[in-house]
Structure 1
Amino acid sequence: MPRRTATMLASTLMLIALLCAGVLIPVPYSEMSPGPTVNTLGDHGGEPVLNISGRKTYPATGHLNMTTVRVTGADYRMNLVEAVAGWLSHDDAVVPHSTLYPNGQTAEQATQENAEEFSQSQESAKVAALKVLDVPVAARVVVASVVKDSPAEGTLHAGDVIKAVDGKPVKQPGDVAKLVTQHKPGQKVSFTIIPAKAAAAAEKARKPEPSTRETLSITTRKAPDDNRAIVGIEAGTDHTFPFQIDIKLADVGGPSAGLMFALGIVDKLTPGDLTGGNFVAGTGTIEADGKVGPIGGIQMKTVGARAKGAEYFLTPKDNCATAARDVPSGLTLVKVDTIDDAVKALKQIRAGDTGSLDRCTTG
């Protein structure tokens, strides 16, 4: 065989071997890419994203789109060829697998966590929106979760309303731990509660909080990391709304749609169009007090929003510098730190006063 032919054959075989290795060898990376974007003012899957009953609502045109990021699953292992293709792609991002799924998180655990964060974001969005509209929202301290095999397991349940600890009224979630830790491990502490089922039934029927109370005694134990007395619960805040607000959006998880849900609620409960008919998209977590927080995958979200036709993108303040490094053509990034900032920006967009918008910069 001529030397030239042998060399070409050897090179070809080596290339094939490298390609096979690239396809077969898994690498510890995951991929993020632009996901679906949904108008919170419209329908999705044949149902309104926001359904409000018991309060007058108003027609809303335009778009207030929430945005998403599509990620490879926790159990999916990329190969080297896919990783290289992702690194070369302008619109996708390849990141360490542990960034998306820390501590070996399974697919089931990731789904559960995303569902819980999504549920909490809906609650916060409702509260923040109604505060903008000066609609009172009642708050109460509840059992958010019970630790498995803890002293409280079987006695307290998630959703129980905590009215008092040792007879002392509870006003904030932090009051619970403060009162429990006044005990020594092994001592008993009493909880005065409204059972979760009774509280939920009253709320569903739009009735006042039940007057019936239960007082339960729990023996504390030593915390695993110090000498504090604990019972093994996490206290949280639950809200009672004066009318029904349902947020329905299948196959979406995580907290990053909170801002856009809140703005959609404000728009539907306010005469006229908040957007002035413009196509506005955005992202951001939201707290009950209206504070907007940063999210991951911001550049994937701006790409996805622009591809659907968005002209303005409401961007969390802490994501602005990253987003501004590579802005899709035709998209204006608007910096927001609170829901009030977002409402102000929408009013400017509606009025055509876009020159005064607080825009994102790389600095």
Structure 2
Amino acid sequence: MTLYSDDDPTLQEHGRERIAPPRRVVIGWVAIGVAIVLALVLALVPAPFVIEQPGPVFNTLGTDEQVGAKPSGDAKELISISGKKTYPTSGSLDLLTVSVVGNPEQRPSWLEIAGAWFQPSKAVLPLETVFPPGTTTEQSNAENAALMVDSQQDAIAAALNQLGYTFPENVAVKQLIKDTPASSVLKVGDEITTVNGETITSIDALREAVKKNGTGKPAELGIVRDGAGSTVSITPIESQGQVVLGIGAGMDYTFPFDVKIQLNNVGGPSAGQMFALGIMDKLTPDTLTGGKRIAGTGTIDNAGEIGPIGGIRQKMYAARDTGDASYFLAPASNCDEVTGHIPSGLHVFAVKTLADSLKVLKAVRNGSSTSGLPTCPAR
């Protein structure tokens, strides 16, 4: 019995008999072909994700050039103060950034996503968590730039308040949300001075007062418009689980001297804490760092309250990889992301206020024990 006839053209070549390749060889070549196709798909097909990774590091006591970069020759002081005596500083107060790989117009490939999964210094996030639906890269950059400007002003206010300076601080209407109770009553630029008789001096105080009032009755707001004071009534509404007036509020400050922060191409509010510490160090005779390199992150308001930020794991790796930064100031509200993810060699302290951070810096520069200072709890 034969499986192939001698005159089968597939088995003959120039009079010679051809032997059919073994089945396992055929399967092997098919597998290789499938792998090549899969590799091309992974390399070329965009994924609905973005990658967060450690970004540049900047010393708030130094220049606007990133730490470790080759000097360009046209560097500027990151924090400059005029109209007030300043003092020499030492060491470093590093602010940390996160770089995002991918955007709505240019998403990373599946191959890049797969590689990021296995690197603890990187995080893979759904595209819509970083760029909400309908938001372009340009719009996102503009929003982050505005947040950076606001955070710089809040940081200046926090530092000067901590040092005992007094200056006008007003909560103001920066934006009106269409078809909300406030849109027909308030105007952009109005100062909000009270809510139901309670003095309002910060955004958090405004939020708490509106929440306390609730949605069932009007809130009585004291406002100042074009220099004239008046009282208006607005009934708050619920939006995404929050009690709101329907405004975007911000702070207006009149500082007693000029503080300028020079940092381009970095957005978001997360540098607030380190800006505030850098300003304080320049305005006080004694160095805050004791010559040591200290890194940190966190939003800050004019009262010195430090708030949570995104990408803290990537920022911890950025601090460690800078070289000699072994101390890290993290917002206490980020502890759930810190615990279990601290790179070796980094001492992380959990801080809630600017005063907490100053206690850490005092212990570090004096060489005192830091065992009693707050840290994120272990799991």
TM-score interval, smaller chain: 0.7 to 0.9
- Matched residues in 1 for 2:53 and 2:93: separation? 21
1:263 to 264, 274, 277: 277
Instruction: Tell me the amino acid that sits aligned with residue 360 of structure 2.
Output: A
| 2:146 aligned residue | 116
Instruction: Tell me the amino acid that sits aligned with residue 83 of structure 1.
Output: I
| 1:2 aligned residue | 21
Number of aligned residue pairs: 332
Q: Which moved more, 1:94-103 or 1:58-67?
A: 94-103
Q: Which moved more, 1:62-71 or 1:236-245?
A: 236-245
- Matched residues in 2 for 1:287 and 1:60: separation? 24
| 2:121 aligned residue | 91
| Deviation, structure 1 residue 233 | 5.3
Instruction: Tell me the amino acid that sits aligned with residue 30 of structure 1.
Output: V
| Deviation, structure 1 residue 271 | 0.5
Alpha carbons of structure 1 residues 293 and 190: separation in structure 2 relative to 1, 3 Å: closer
Instruction: Tell me the amino acid that sits aligned with residue 345 of structure 2.
Output: G
Give secondary structure in 1 for the equivalent of 2:133.
Answer: helix
1:244 matched to 2:244? The reply is no
1:59 matched to 2:88? The reply is yes
Q: Is 2:222–2:229's contact at 8 Å kept on the other side of the alignment?
A: no
Which stretches in structure 2 are left out of the alignment for 5+ residues?
Answer: 1-19, 66-74, 201-205
Q: Is 1:141–1:170's contact at 8 Å kept on the other side of the alignment?
A: no
Query: Can you list the C-alpha shifts for 1:58-91, whole angstroms capped at 9, x where unaligned?
Result: 1111110000111124222222211111112232
Which stretches in structure 1 are left out of the alignment for 5+ residues?
Answer: 184-188, 195-211
Instruction: Tell me the amino acid that sits aligned with residue 305 of structure 1.
Output: A
| Deviation, structure 1 residue 48 | 0.9
| 1:362 aligned residue | 378
2:301 to 287, 296, 312: 287
Query: Can you list the C-alpha shifts for 1:283-327, whole angstroms capped at 9, x where unaligned?
Result: 011122111111111111011111112110001112234323132
Q: Is 1:34–1:68's contact at 8 Å kept on the other side of the alignment?
A: yes
1:127 to 157, 162, 169: 157
| 1:201 aligned residue | none
For the pair shown, the structure with the greater C-alpha radius of gyration is 2
1:302 to 316, 335, 359: 316
Give the % identical residues: 40
Give secondary structure in 1 for the equivalent of 2:252.
Answer: strand
2:46 to 15, 20, 26: 26
Q: Is 2:172–2:191's contact at 8 Å kept on the other side of the alignment?
A: yes
Q: Is 2:172–2:252's contact at 8 Å kept on the other side of the alignment?
A: yes
TM-score by length of 1: 0.79
- Matched residues in 1 for 2:277 and 2:224: separation? 37
TM-score by length of 2: 0.76
Instruction: Tell me the amino acid that sits aligned with residue 367 of structure 2.
Output: G
Q: Is 2:364–2:370's contact at 8 Å kept on the other side of the alignment?
A: no
- 1:1-363 matched pairs, under 5 angstroms: 1-3=20-22, 4-45=24-65, 46-75=75-104, 76-147=106-177, 158-159=188-189, 172=200, 193-194=225-226, 234-309=248-323, 310-358=325-373, 359-363=375-379
Query: Can you list the C-alpha shifts for 1:2-57, whole angstroms capped at 9, x where unaligned?
Result: 12432222121111111122223332211010001100011014111111111111
- Matched residues in 1 for 2:267 and 2:320: separation? 21
Give secondary structure in 1 for the equivalent of 2:370.
Answer: helix
Q: Is 1:141–1:235's contact at 8 Å kept on the other side of the alignment?
A: yes
Give secondary structure in 1 for the equivalent of 2:358.
Answer: helix
Query: Can you list the C-alpha shifts for 1:163-198, whole angstroms capped at 9, x where unaligned?
Result: 899xx999536899x9xx969xxxxx998623xxxx
Q: Is 2:173–2:191's contact at 8 Å kept on the other side of the alignment?
A: yes
Alpha carbons of structure 1 residues 353 and 321: separation in structure 2 relative to 1, 3 Å: farther
| Deviation, structure 1 residue 110 | 1.2
